[in-house]
Amino acid sequence: MTQPQEKVVGEDIYIVMIVTMIVWGGIFFYLMYLDRKVKNLEKRIEMDEETV
């Protein structure tokens, strides 16, 4: 007969931590991307206002 394997609770916490860090990293880099796009748009608006 095969005996049921006991799952160590500590192993799952590392998977949760890794997934959480990946999600937060993705959010961080997406916000940095948006910030750059907003800065570029602000510069374009300033340049357009100067020419008018």
pLDDT in tens, 5-49: 666 667 889 999 999 999 999 999 999 999 999 999 999 999 998
Mean pLDDT of 1-6: 64
Tokens (6 digits) for 50: 């100067």
Give the pLDDT band of residue 50 (cuts 50, 70, 90).
confident
Query: What CA–CA distance (Å, rounded) separates 11 from 7?
Result: 8
Query: What CA–CA distance (Å, rounded) separates 24 from 29?
Result: 9
Q: Which one has a higher pLDDT value, 37 or 3?
A: 37
pLDDT at 11: 80
Backbone φ and ψ of 15, nearest 5°? -65, -45
pLDDT at 38: 98
Write the DSSP string, 7-52. Answer: PPHHHHHHHHHHHHHHHHHHHHHHHHHHHHHHHHHHHHHHHHHHH-
